[in-house]
Amino acid sequence: MIVWDDDWQPLDGKAHEEQVRVLRGLLAPGARVVDLGAGNGRIARELTRSGHAVVAIDNDERAVDQLREIDGVDARCADMLTDEWVRDGDLDAFDAALILGHTFMTVHDVEQAVGLMRRVHRVVRPGGVLVIDVDCMETWRDIAEGNWQEGISEDGAWQLVWGEGDNVVAVRRGDEVDPESWSIRERDRVVRVWTMGGLRLAAIASGWEKPESIGSGVITMRRSG
């Protein structure tokens, strides 16, 4: 199961390199891309080096300050779950929208996730693509193999607390781990463990074609004409 040690660098070096390789193979030369939840430029930096034009969105001003230092990046400080990042010139303007680094999993409310996908649908041109990464297959395999039965990792560094009646889970780490607490708290970081079936329903509700896995945890959805 993939979890986060660093919000701005959520993948280890090998996984990051593989994800970049997949993206380079997916995007046409000179593609215009919007990177939502861009952090301090993990992906944006790589894409501009490959000749792509990138609009990078993050709600952390510290991250955006670093994004502004990357040549070829239009950095905007905004909440991707609102319309504040969308400008008039953005409509039907992008070849691809990226929500990577497991950022889509943090949108654990289904209505918010569908709203985000509809918002992105407005800015991606017909034939363009939405790209996300979720570790749904790895997570369910991990659970099926009997891991995490106690909810706490063997080294005691991580705790997973499942929500009642839904595929949401609080991810606790370090000092947040509490063996006496098994209900999701207001201060917990909550993520949704998406299934492909859930993603298909969200795609239908927001106007995208069915999701397709293209490897390395990367899932794409096309915007039809």
- Which residues lie below 8 Å from residue 1, measured CB to CB, with a gap of 6+? 135, 138, 139, 142, 147, 148
Q: For 71, what's the count of Cα atoms within 13 Å in the CB-facing half-sphere?
A: 3
* Residue 80 domain flag: yes
* Residue 71 domain flag: yes
Place of tokens 């215009």: 32
Instruction: Band the pLDDT of 138: cuts 50, 70, 90.
Output: low
* Residue 20 domain flag: yes
* Residue 67 domain flag: yes
What pLDDT was estimated at residue 62?
94
* Residue 1 domain flag: no
What pLDDT was estimated at residue 2?
44
Instruction: Band the pLDDT of 120: cuts 50, 70, 90.
Output: very high
Contact of 179 with 153, CB cutoff 8 Å: no
Same domain assignment for residues 164 and 177 = yes
Check whether 147 has a pLDDT greater than 70: no
Higher pLDDT, 149 or 202: 202
Check whether 3 has a pLDDT greater than 50: no
Same domain assignment for residues 108 and 147 = no
Cα dihedral sign, 12-95-129-91: positive
Element (H, E) at 40: none
Same domain assignment for residues 101 and 206 = yes
pLDDT tens for 4-42 read 444 555 666 788 899 999 999 999 999 999 999 999 999
Number of structural domains found in the chain: 2
Same domain assignment for residues 69 and 79 = yes
Same domain assignment for residues 36 and 73 = yes
Check whether 186 has a pLDDT greater than 90: yes
What pLDDT was estimated at residue 97?
98
pLDDT tens for 67-100 read 999 999 999 999 999 999 999 999 999 999 999 9
Task: Indicate yes or no: pTM above 0.85.
Answer: yes
Nearest to 120 by CA among 96, 88, 84: 96
Question: Rounded CA gap, 58 and 126, in Å?
Answer: 25
Question: Rounded CA gap, 67 and 127, in Å?
Answer: 28
Same domain assignment for residues 202 and 107 = yes
* Residue 157 domain flag: yes
Mean pLDDT of the chain: 89
Question: Rounded CA gap, 123 and 119, in Å?
Answer: 7
Same domain assignment for residues 182 and 216 = no
Contact of 95 with 124, CB cutoff 8 Å: yes
* Residue 5 domain flag: no
Residue 179 belongs to what domain range?
136-192
Question: Rounded CA gap, 221 and 200, in Å?
Answer: 9
What pLDDT was estimated at residue 150?
76
Same domain assignment for residues 174 and 209 = no
- Which residues lie below 8 Å from residue 14, measured CB to CB, with a gap of 6+? none
Q: Which of 42-51, 137-146, 177-186 has the lowest mean pLDDT?
A: 137-146
CATH number reported for the structural domain that contains residue 203 in this entry: 3.40.50.150
